[in-house]
Amino acid sequence: MEHINDEIKFLTSTVKGIARQFGDNCEVVLLDLTQHEKYGSGLIVLIENGHVTGRKVGDTGTNLGLEVLRGTDQEGDKHNYLTKTKDGRMLRSTTMYIRNSENYPVGCICINFDITSLMMAETAIKEFTDLNKINTDVKEVFVNNVNDVLAVLLQEVQSFIGKPVAHMSKNDKLKGIKYLDEKGAFLIQKSGDKICEYFGISKYTLYNYLDIIRKEQDM
């Protein structure tokens, strides 16, 4: 009898411990299957957070228990599977059977974690982070001063042309300067000096290139 009482204390402690570890959304149930021939009310002998499925002590088990007791399901234990309550809430569930020395199920512990709110949150997050619904063509950079904006634009030129400035031809540089002009780089005060330094050209050449570019645009 003392041995049985120790087992009951351990199982009770386990049920309560799991429920407290995972909070109010985690239902933990202990069922007594020793009276399996009367599979009906009275199987639940301990339950924590019964509001998850709406059950209480004295209520019955589920259809899975019937399959195990009948022998249809030899494995019995099931871990991390999806279930649904009568009112449509989604649960992540685990069922673990307690067996006697003859490997016959005499009880089981069931864990049912309500993940409905988590799934709703996941849906909301995906709605905001779905790149298929976000315009990724706009390139905006947040910096502290306008010189940093110019530095970013100069970095973009190399990606736009597809080669480092040392390997750029005259036509490449024309394309690069046209890119900078369209991006408004020349509206930045003293930007011409830095652009000349970047391309390795004189101011005279820069203004000559700009003249060519803008004449082409006016045609």
CB 83, CB 64: distance < 8 Å: no
Whether the CB-CB separation of 34 and 106 falls below 8 Å is answered with yes
At 117, list the tokens.
Answer: 């709110």
Maximum Cα–Cα distance across the chain:
102
> Residues 40-64: what's their mean pLDDT?
84
Six-digit token string for 78:
């099931």
**CA–CA distance, 188 with 195 (Å, rounded to integer):** 11
- Give the whole-angstrom CA distance, residue 39 versus residue 65: 9
Long-range contacts, 44-51 (Cβ 8 Å, 24+): 46/11, 46/12, 46/15, 47/15, 48/15, 48/16, 48/18, 48/19, 48/20, 49/19, 49/24, 49/25, 51/24, 51/27
Rounded to 5 degrees, what are φ and ψ at 54? 80, 20
pLDDT confidence of residue 67: 59
Annotated domain spans of the chain: 2-116, 146-218
Residue 61 has pLDDT above 90, yes or no: no
Place of tokens 């799934």: 119
* 1 band by pLDDT with thresholds 50, 70 and 90: very low
Q: Containing H/E element for 31?
A: strand 26-32
How far is Cα 150 from Cα 153, in angstroms, rounded to an integer? 5
The strand pairing partners of 26, in sequence order, are: 113
Question: Given this model, what pLDDT does residue 175 score?
Answer: 94
pLDDT at residue 8, rounded to an integer: 81
Percentage of the chain lying above the pLDDT 90 cut: 41
Q: Are 15 and 46 in contact (CB under 8 A)?
A: yes
Kindly state the average pLDDT of the residues 60-73. Answer: 62
- Rounded to a whole number of angstroms, the distance between the first and last alpha carbons of the chain is 102
Task: Kindly report, residue by residue over 13-41, the tens digit of the pLDDT.
Answer: 999 999 999 999 999 999 888 865 555 55
Q: What is the pTM of this model?
A: 0.60
Please provide the average confidence, as pLDDT, over all residues in the chain: 84
Length of the chain: 219
152-183 pLDDT, tens per residue?
Answer: 899 899 889 999 999 999 999 999 999 999 98
How far apart CA 123 and CA 127 sit, in angstroms, is: 6
Would you state the structure tokens that stand for residue 7, as one six-digit string?
């087992």
pLDDT band at 137 (very low <50, low <70, confident <90, very high): low
Q: Are 206 and 191 in contact (CB under 8 A)?
A: no
CATH number of 2-116: 3.30.450.20
